[in-house]
Amino acid sequence: MLITDTGVLDHFTETDKWGGRSMARLDDGWCSALDRNTLTCMIYEKRPLICREFEMGEYECIAERAANL
| pLDDT, tens digit, 9 for 90 and up, residues 35-66 | 988 888 899 888 888 788 777 677 777 777 67
Residues in the chain: 69
pLDDT reported for residue 54: 72
Q: Break the chain down into helix, strand, coil percent, rounded to 5.
A: 30, 15, 55
Total count of domains within the chain: 1
Q: Is residue 3 part of a domain?
A: no
pLDDT in the model for residue 66: 77
Q: Which tens digit of pLDDT belongs to each residue from 25-41? A: 999 888 899 998 888 88
Residue 50 maps to a domain: yes
User: Is residue 5 situated within a structural domain?
Assistant: no
Mean pLDDT, residues 3-21 taken together: 85
> What residue numbers bound the domain in which 29 lies?
10-67
Residue 17 lies in a domain: yes
Cα distance between residue 49 and residue 63, in whole Å:
19
**Residue 30 in domain:** yes
Does residue 4 sit within a domain? no
* 2 falls within a domain: no
